[in-house]
Amino acid sequence: MHLLYDLKSGDLATISGIKARYVEQSLEQRLAALGFRVGKRIQVMRKASFNGPLHVRIGSTDIILRESEAKLIEVHPSTAESDCSQHATPSPSIKEK
């Protein structure tokens, strides 16, 4: 299990869960409204030093999270290459006559 806060700037991941038992209902609803849902891809844009906030992107939405919030989000790290290969559309084959 990896936490969102453990990722570095530029890292890509897929959200695998939110530690709901540690989250207030209002925070859980706010995260869901911002797009933090299981299966969504997320990218770390910047990570402030000294336990500062985390700047992440989900789709085209940029979000700043506190350290405590980022430590509640479980992720599966991934790479751009593996994500592209999984979603690549196979080109149709051309038959020779």
Q: What does each of the 97 residues of the chain score in pLDDT, given as a tens digit?
A: 899 999 999 999 999 998 877 678 888 888 889 999 999 999 999 998 888 899 999 999 999 999 999 999 999 998 655 444 444 444 444 444 4
The answer to whether position 6 is within a domain reads: yes
Give the global pTM: 0.74
List the structure tokens of 84: 């592209």
75 within 8 A of 63, measured Cβ to Cβ: no
The answer to whether position 47 is within a domain reads: yes
Domain that holds residue 47: 2-83
The answer to whether position 95 is within a domain reads: no
Looking up residue 8, the CATH number of its domain turns out to be 2.30.30.90
Please count the structural domains in the chain: 1
